[in-house]
Amino acid sequence: MTDLAATVVELREDREHGASWMARRTVEALLEVAEQPFETCEALVDQLVDSARQLAESRPRIGAIPGAAGRVLAAANGWRHLDLDDFRQLIREEGQGILDGRMRAAASIAIHLGERLDGAVVATHSASATVREALLRTPPTRVICTVSDPVGEGRAFAEGLRAEGLDVELFEDDDAPSALAGATILVVGADTVFSDGTLCNKIGTTALAEAAARNGIPVIVAAEIVKLAPMEAVDAPDPGPAERELFELTPPELLTAIVTEEGACTPAEIASLVDRTPFLREGYALLQPARA
């Protein structure tokens, strides 16, 4: 099995990590592909595109994978005229920049969320690394976590926050909607935010968002721009086995705001943000033949 094939299997079978980790593994895999021997820049790009499609198809509804893959492709696409060694170096630098930028994006989101979290009682679901960074940067009064079955990643998430000194309550999923009455804000991560504002996230998110709506509690999604998809949810690829088992779509009318590294926007404003993010459009266009 090649390194790329192993990464595709790793992504397809993973049930423990979030979308941010998957985006990182995607970029790392493409950087490994770029180090293989090629005769021309065209051959290198062709292999990058083919590899990116395989990675994207491993988890069809996790927008962070095609988002990250597309960003690598978009960065490389306009530089095929370079000397091969220079082209390879450019891909290395762009890839490392994407990895570094991912960390900066999460930090920026944490800053943008700070005012909302200060003094709040925050409910959250699953185990978003982006949400975790925000909670640690601005510790709220209390955090309400869910077990997040069937994987149950919320247990380790809650323990990790407690280890950092936060006041955390952990609830079984069936009890979480009623426990939400004690919260002042619901903050969740994202696997994908579609251009119509629909959220793809861990199963159970919609029930919590509905409970939040009944209690007048704002629902905030923390999502790096790389997790945005330039398509509406109705046009998204069919979900794979993991997506059918673990994820669901939450309609935009249940969401108050999506906070990216650029700041907060409403679900209705996501399409505009996608339109002014060239790498999303170009990257997805390069991946599109595999989705036809």
Instruction: Provide the pLDDT confidence category of residue 70 given band limits of 50, 70 and 90.
Output: confident
287 in the same domain as 270: no
Backbone CA torsion sign across 13, 15, 18, 21: negative
185 in the same domain as 148: yes
By C-alpha distance, which of 16, 26, 81 is closest to 48?
A: 26
pTM: 0.87
The reported pLDDT for the residue numbered 284 is: 84
The reported pLDDT for the residue numbered 98 is: 84
165 in the same domain as 89: no
Helix axes 64-77, 41-58, angle to 10 degrees: 170
Residue 291 has pLDDT above 50, yes or no: no
Amino acid identity at 284: Y
68 in the same domain as 79: yes
Q: What is the CATH number of the domain that holds 44?
A: 1.20.120.420
Q: Are residues 27 and 99 in contact, defined by beta-carbon separation less than 8 angstroms?
A: yes
82 in the same domain as 36: yes
Q: What is the CATH number of the domain that holds 226?
A: 3.40.50.10470
Instruction: Provide the pLDDT confidence category of residue 63 given band limits of 50, 70 and 90.
Output: confident
The reported pLDDT for the residue numbered 53 is: 92
Mind listing the pLDDT tens digit for each residue in 175-210? 999 989 899 999 999 999 999 999 999 999 999 999
Average confidence (pLDDT) over 237-258: 87
Mind listing the pLDDT tens digit for each residue in 83-93? 899 999 999 99
What average pLDDT does the structure give for the chain? Answer: 91
Q: Which residues pair with 122 in a beta bridge?
A: 143, 185
130 in the same domain as 73: no
92 in the same domain as 128: no
Q: What is the count of structural domains for the chain?
A: 2
Average confidence (pLDDT) over 20-31: 92
215 in the same domain as 155: yes
Mind listing the pLDDT tens digit for each residue in 248-270? 999 999 999 999 999 999 999 99
270 in the same domain as 138: yes
Residue 15 has pLDDT above 60, yes or no: yes
DSSP string computed for the chain: --HHHHHHHHHHH--S--HHHHHHHHHHHHHHHHTS--SSHHHHHHHHHHHHHHHHHHSTT-THHHHHHHHHHHHHHTTTTS-HHHHHHHHHHHHHHHHHHHHHHHHHHHHHHHHHHTT-EEE--S--HHHHHHHHHS--SEEEEE--TTTTHHHHHHHHHHHTT--EEEE-GGGHHHHGGG-SEEEE--SEEETTS-EEEETTHHHHHHHHHHTT--EEEE--GGGEESS-GGGSPPP-HHHHHHEEEE-GGG--EEEETTEEE-GGGHHHHHHT-HHHHHHHHHHGGGG-
115 in the same domain as 73: no
Mind listing the pLDDT tens digit for each residue in 99-150? 888 889 999 999 999 999 999 999 999 999 999 999 999 999 999 999 999 9
Rounded percentage of the chain residues whose pLDDT exceeds 90: 67
137 in the same domain as 92: no
Instruction: Provide the pLDDT confidence category of residue 289 given band limits of 50, 70 and 90.
Output: low
Query: Which carries the bigger pLDDT value, residue 239 or residue 93?
Result: 93
CA–CA gap between residue 23 and residue 283 (Å, rounded): 14
The reported pLDDT for the residue numbered 199 is: 98
The reported pLDDT for the residue numbered 1 is: 53
91 in the same domain as 60: yes
Instruction: Provide the pLDDT confidence category of residue 292 given band limits of 50, 70 and 90.
Output: very low
Range of the domain at 167: 106-276
Q: Are residues 76 and 87 in contact, defined by beta-carbon separation less than 8 angstroms?
A: yes
The reported pLDDT for the residue numbered 207 is: 95
Residue 290 has pLDDT above 70, yes or no: no
CA–CA gap between residue 69 and residue 227 (Å, rounded): 11
Q: Are residues 121 and 183 in contact, defined by beta-carbon separation less than 8 angstroms?
A: yes
Residue 221 has pLDDT above 50, yes or no: yes
